[in-house]
Amino acid sequence: MEKRSSPKIYFAPLQESTDHIYRSAHARFFGGIDKYFAPYIVRQNEGIVKNSHLRDIKPENNHQNPVIPQILARNSGDIIFLAKLLQENGYDEINWNLGCPYPMVTNKGLGAGLLPYPEKIRSILEESLPNIQCKVSVKMRMGLESADEIFQVVDVLNAFPLSELILHPRIARQLYKGVPDEAIFTEVQKRAKHPLVYNGDIDTPETFNRLNELFNETGTWMIGRGILKNPFLPILIKTGSIPEKKEAAERMRNFHDEILLGHSKVLNGNSHLLMKMEKFWSFFCFAFPDPHKTFKRIKKAANITKYDLAVIENFHYLRDQIS
């Protein structure tokens, strides 16, 4: 039997979670990622890009990572503007977001809000691609309201020189509820003329192995929340093992401390820092023996001193469980 090559793993972009501080720390302490996708940047009505978005894609903040910046755009002008901005910052590939499911985005005709309009997608690509030099990939959902929307969209995308398609097989209205539609992914796999990447609910090596057998022509996988919950997951999938328990705990602590330090330098005030770290722990707690108690300690921390004590208690508890 022919030996299958090692899977490629992409880290999905999640707004407010996988910023350059998180990506750099993950690359340093865990690795196993072939491409980190940065959360989307968007052109504001005034024709500008937020400073926080610019900071996240600046080369000096991303030198450790193979990073693909993502853009959110609903017309060719915005795609051309953002592509040129990213090219000026040294990027040779961008990802167009046709998958964001949140109503505050889709109601503006952005993200998955474009999926019911395949001819509009065609027009945008016809007008924009000849005017940019970088590679373009697309990340998408099955549709906004109906899974059937994906088929017309794929037919349109097949006509353009895109680098790859990334499909999360849910409709936008599901958000993250229910389960991914594996039958739809199988059908898209048959129709798509570009390399197709699977994204959705890969949270354990067992889940990956099942999907890897089911979609045996897919060699590339995108994982988001599964890595936020278990930063070792990519290495675990690729090698079948992680460092011994005490070293693993030490890496987790160093990972946390680097993220805390990084955000303390860019956020204004401890209240913002605590909010950012609470968001981090809402995922990170799942890497601990008792996620509920672990996260509860963080949520109860009313100031930075109590937060530091909660972190110490969490890691003491972790060490006690593995010693």
Show me where the domains of the chain are located: 8-239, 245-322
Long-range contacts of 50-59 (CB under 8 A, 24+ apart): 55/20, 55/266, 56/19, 56/20, 57/20, 57/86, 57/89, 57/91, 58/20, 58/89, 59/89, 59/90
The CATH number assigned to the domain with range 8-239 reads 3.20.20.70
pLDDT at residue number 4: 58
Rg of the chain's alpha carbons, rounded to an integer?
20
Buried residues in 233-254 as b, exposed as e (16+ CB within 10 A) = bbbbbbeeebeeeeebbebbbe
Q: Work out the pLDDT band at 2, boundaries 50, 70, 90.
A: very low
In this prediction, residue 322 has a pLDDT band, given cuts at 50, 70 and 90, of low
> Mind listing the pLDDT tens digit for each residue in 154-200?
999 999 999 999 999 999 999 999 999 999 999 999 999 999 999 99
Among positive and negative, which fits the CA dihedral 141, 238, 207, 218?
positive
* Single pTM value for the model: 0.95
> What share of the chain has pLDDT > 70, as a percent?
98
Are the beta carbons of 98 and 124 closer than 8 angstroms?
Answer: no
Task: Average the pLDDT over 2-16 and give the result.
Answer: 85
- Mean pLDDT along residues 51-68: 92
Q: Is a pLDDT exceeding 90 seen at residue 221?
A: yes
| Amino acid at position 308, single letter | D
